[in-house]
Amino acid sequence: MEAAEYDLAYFRSNGFHRRACVVCGSPFWTLGDHDRCQEAPCRDYGFLGHPVFRRPYALREMREAFLGFFEHRGHTRLRRYPTVARWRNDVFFTQASIYDFQPWVTSGAIPPPANPLTISQPVLRFIDLEEVGRSGRHLTLFEMLAHHAFNRPDHEVYFKERTVELCHELFTAELGAPATGLTYKEEVWEGGGNLGPSLSVGLAGLEVATLVFMEYVRDGERLKPMPLTVVDTGYGLERLVWASQGTRTAYEAVFAGEYDELRRSFPPRETAILIDHARALNFLLTDGVVPSNGKEGYFARLLLRRMLRLLSKVPEAPSLVAILDRSGRELARDYPEIGEHRDDLARVVEAEIERYREALERARQTIRRQDAKYRAEGSRATEEDLLRWYDSLGVPPDVAVEELSQPPAIPEDFYARVAARHESERPTTDYVDASEGFPEVPASVPGTEVLYYLDPYTVAFEAHVVHVDGPFVVLERTYFYPTGGGQVADRGHLGDLEVIDVGRKGPHVLHRLERAAPWHPGDRVRGRIDPRRRTQLMQHHTATHLLNGALREVLGPHVWQAGAHKAPELARIDVTHFRSPSADELRRVDRLINAVVRENRPVKSYFESRTEAERRFGFTLYQGGAVPGKELRIVEIEGFDVEACGGTHCTHTSEVGAIQLVDVERIQDGIVRLSFASGERALELREEHEATLKEAARRLGVPPEKLPEGIDRLLGEVEESRKVAKARTRGDLEGMATSLLADPTRTAAVGPTTIIAATVDLDRAGLTELSRILSRADGRVVLLASEREGKGTLFAGSTASGVSALALIEQSRAVFQAKGGGNPSAATAVGEPGEPLQRALGAAREAARQAAGG
């Protein structure tokens, strides 16, 4: 970044001077007389015991002071976004306030919900997990205070000058910090292909804010200006509170009452961890994360289990649920949604606690068994075992050690070594953008007016062509629905050409034709949408909302949509839930959705301001992920389900017709997938199922309602005949054994040993079985030859002491060029059939005779 990027008129005209920090070397701007930037580690904390602001602020007061300050200066205050970034596929969690507006707002595809705006966004930083409680300031969840402005060439809100002015005024005039205490350090921010200058604001040793100016797109070595420049600021709410109070750690300042309560049972570090994790969990669980073994759910599990481990060491400590509840009540004062479903949240947590208990118990058993084994062989468990057990069984090393008679020392760097085990792993992403395969449209082409929102029933229309690119056509307006929101695209015709796909690229809807379009911008074309497909998709989409609403009703409000797909043949919805729904739960869901269909409730689709919609319906609106924009499209099934959704929907529930659940599966821990069909497709499926049922019944020769009994009878018969066959085979073998033993040409006694040698016609299993029967008594040597599929098998079995079946086989193997082996009591070789096999049998018999002492 060039120095000119930071050389602001604001700095110049207000007497700031530019210095270079003598410690880190970075240039910074300040009104004070500092030789170093005012951030750790370049200088020590100067606020401990000496608060830097006018007065101490509690968390709530500081948040209000910030948001109020910016509100009075023309910013619109926004409510927080969910902490789970469902609208993005590259991250799990909202890690900064700007995440709320990426990618659509920052890319310019969709206007911001307000401009400029201010927000306090709870964000998660799991990278700091180990530092929580240790550093005195780190948290897995903190609130990022921010003011954002989005500047288009035709509409400049504000950029660097005003941003710095606002920031400086906030800290000095509003909060009362000494103007000379602040330093604005020059830095470069880069992320997601964008970059720009940034200023890091230091005060008394704390980095209190970062002011980022997203300005350029990286294009190889060169930098190109962005069409939309963005002011991205971040102020750590908890740090500001801390600085205002000057307590020893940030936790004491931020969590005052809770901290003191838990401090009675726990040391400072554990207290901080428990409070931090409880706070993070309250947000995560409220926002629909169900603890699981992967993805975002794992982080909830991680926090929960860490808490459980700490709690297990202090018997008189409050329960996990009690701590969560205490924290939740505190949070609910500012974020009422967190207090709304306390019982449900407790149920999710209890289920998870039970799982952990079971997992640990299983693991302990495994370790105990391994320990017994080690003891038996005179060895002992190693550090490597501890690592492996943690990795594969989830047993923390201190727990594992409890089960070992001779435990190894727990390595100091245990968790670092766990990390090292995972180093070589390369995560892959196979995400496919819905608009992939669709070409870019020049920005000069006017955006498409989408009409399916307003009227999903119109399937024929006329419109002017505004852009053609081979088979891709953009119209001024269209009724064709592009793939999005889990709903596949419409099909149909433009003119005489078939529309094979429809996609959305920013403000444009692209129709993909079977071949290159013959039209030019300005031509008027007629569009016809395949009405059957459209109807089916509408039914499936509305049915998805019905199902989602019913699942929340029946299973609990922790249920969130975690994905959905609506195709003409079948639809599916993935929801968060901690176990497979029971048959009874599914039956209740089925009853409920079909009842709502029968009641023929209106399904209203309309646009409403984000603020108003969130006020009325809350965060559960964002089932398909948060949708940026000032206006949300709301799809409301009256009195049942409300979601922000851009899909095409029926206007009354009865249009959905029948809904048929097809399959329910747990696609991963914490996620349940329901496949279903509605409308015509549901009837078709029902017919298919019925036909299958009838056909099965016909083949079994029973009426359909007797099918289960019929199958039981059939299975019984199969089992019976299997037994009979087995008994018969066994009987046959018994008979063979008896006649062989009675046959003097095949049986020879050598002292106490009886040698039986015979050629039979049996498969491998038969030879083994016959040998077993023949060698029920001690002192038997059995030699069996058999030919099958052009190969000769020689089997030897022995219960005679001093006669090794394996030795007999080894001695006769060469005679018929056989391969084989075995053990002293049974051995096999396979080689040439016919005469060589017979000679081998003779050789083996001779060897047996000698071994038996004859």
Binding site for RNA (CB under 7 A): 126, 293-295, 298-299, 301-302, 305, 355-356, 359, 362, 365-366, 369, 373, 388, 390-394, 415, 418-419, 421-422, 425-430, 665-667, 669, 719, 723, 764, 768, 771-772, 775, 782, 793, 797-799, 819-823, 825-830
Identify whether 568 is preceded by a cis peptide bond (ω within 30 of 0).
no
H runs (alpha helix) in 582-628: 583-598, 610-617
- In the complex, what is the shortest distance from the CB of residue 485 to RNA, in angstroms, rounded to a whole number? 20
- In the complex, what is the shortest distance from the CB of residue 135 to RNA, in angstroms, rounded to a whole number? 17
- In the complex, what is the shortest distance from the CB of residue 549 to RNA, in angstroms, rounded to a whole number? 25
Q: Kindly tell me which of 113 and 822 has the beta carbon lying closer to RNA.
A: 822
CA dist., res. 412 & res. 410, Å (int): 6
Q: Which residues contact 93 (CB under 8 A, 6 or more apart)?
A: 83, 84, 85, 123, 124, 126, 296, 299
Q: Kindly tell me which of 595 and 727 has the beta carbon lying closer to RNA.
A: 727
Do 397 and 367 touch, CB atoms closer than 8 A? no
Rounded to 5°, the CA angle 757-761-763 comes to 105
- In the complex, what is the shortest distance from the CB of residue 832 to RNA, in angstroms, rounded to a whole number? 12
CA dist., res. 842 & res. 836, Å (int): 10
Q: Kindly tell me which of 518 and 824 has the beta carbon lying closer to RNA.
A: 824
- In the complex, what is the shortest distance from the CB of residue 695 to RNA, in angstroms, rounded to a whole number? 22
Q: Kindly tell me which of 498 and 734 has the beta carbon lying closer to RNA.
A: 734
- In the complex, what is the shortest distance from the CB of residue 782 to RNA, in angstroms, rounded to a whole number? 7
CA dist., res. 678 & res. 337, Å (int): 33
Look-up of token digits 């039956």: 587
Look-up of token digits 């910030």: 66
Q: Which residues contact 835 (CB under 8 A, 6 or more apart)?
A: none
* Paired strand residues for 747: 756
Amino acid identity of 314?
V
DSSP at 411:
P
The β-bridge relationship of strands 27-30 and 477-478 is unpaired
Look-up of token digits 């940030």: 250
DSSP at 663:
E
Do 145 and 237 touch, CB atoms closer than 8 A? yes
Rg (CA), the chain: 37
- In the complex, what is the shortest distance from the CB of residue 683 to RNA, in angstroms, rounded to a whole number? 29
Tokens at residue 796, please?
A: 């030897």
- In the complex, what is the shortest distance from the CB of residue 254 to RNA, in angstroms, rounded to a whole number? 25
Give the number of C-alpha atoms closer than 13 A to the C-alpha of residue 784, restricted to the C-beta side.
31
Q: Kindly tell me which of 4 and 765 has the beta carbon lying closer to RNA.
A: 765
Do 688 and 549 touch, CB atoms closer than 8 A? no
Q: Kindly tell me which of 658 and 664 has the beta carbon lying closer to RNA.
A: 664
Do 151 and 230 touch, CB atoms closer than 8 A? yes
The β-bridge relationship of strands 753-760 and 780-788 is parallel
Q: Output the CA–CA distances (angstroms, integers) from residue 481 to 265, 503, 628, 649, in the order listed.
A: 59, 8, 19, 11
- In the complex, what is the shortest distance from the CB of residue 489 to RNA, in angstroms, rounded to a whole number? 24
Do 383 and 408 touch, CB atoms closer than 8 A? yes
- In the complex, what is the shortest distance from the CB of residue 594 to RNA, in angstroms, rounded to a whole number? 28
Q: Kindly tell me which of 13 and 428 has the beta carbon lying closer to RNA.
A: 428
Q: Kindly tell me which of 570 and 658 has the beta carbon lying closer to RNA.
A: 570
- In the complex, what is the shortest distance from the CB of residue 402 to RNA, in angstroms, rounded to a whole number? 17
Q: Kindly tell me which of 39 and 296 has the beta carbon lying closer to RNA.
A: 296
- In the complex, what is the shortest distance from the CB of residue 572 to RNA, in angstroms, rounded to a whole number? 14
CA dist., res. 316 & res. 313, Å (int): 9
Tokens at residue 781, please?
A: 């040597």
Q: Kindly tell me which of 23 and 667 has the beta carbon lying closer to RNA.
A: 667
C-alpha closest to that of 596 among 670, 542, 664, 518:
542
H runs (alpha helix) in 742-782: 764-774
Helix axes 320-332, 268-286, angle to 10 degrees: 70
Tokens at residue 511, please?
A: 């129709």
CA dist., res. 59 & res. 251, Å (int): 11
Give the number of C-alpha atoms closer than 13 A to the C-alpha of residue 406, restricted to the C-beta side.
10
- In the complex, what is the shortest distance from the CB of residue 78 to RNA, in angstroms, rounded to a whole number? 28
CA dist., res. 302 & res. 284, Å (int): 12
Q: Kindly tell me which of 390 and 617 has the beta carbon lying closer to RNA.
A: 390
Q: Kindly tell me which of 33 and 425 has the beta carbon lying closer to RNA.
A: 425
- In the complex, what is the shortest distance from the CB of residue 813 to RNA, in angstroms, rounded to a whole number? 10
- In the complex, what is the shortest distance from the CB of residue 365 to RNA, in angstroms, rounded to a whole number? 5
Q: Kindly tell me which of 421 and 587 has the beta carbon lying closer to RNA.
A: 421
Q: Kindly tell me which of 487 and 793 has the beta carbon lying closer to RNA.
A: 793
Backbone angles phi, psi at 316, to 5 degrees: -85, 5
DSSP characters for 533-584? HHHHHHHHHHHHHHHHHHHHHHH-TT--EEEEEE-SS-EEEEEE-SSPPPHH
Q: Kindly tell me which of 430 and 584 has the beta carbon lying closer to RNA.
A: 430
Q: Kindly tell me which of 77 and 388 has the beta carbon lying closer to RNA.
A: 388
Q: Kindly tell me which of 428 and 745 has the beta carbon lying closer to RNA.
A: 428
- In the complex, what is the shortest distance from the CB of residue 338 to RNA, in angstroms, rounded to a whole number? 24
- In the complex, what is the shortest distance from the CB of residue 577 to RNA, in angstroms, rounded to a whole number? 12
H runs (alpha helix) in 599-706: 610-617, 679-700
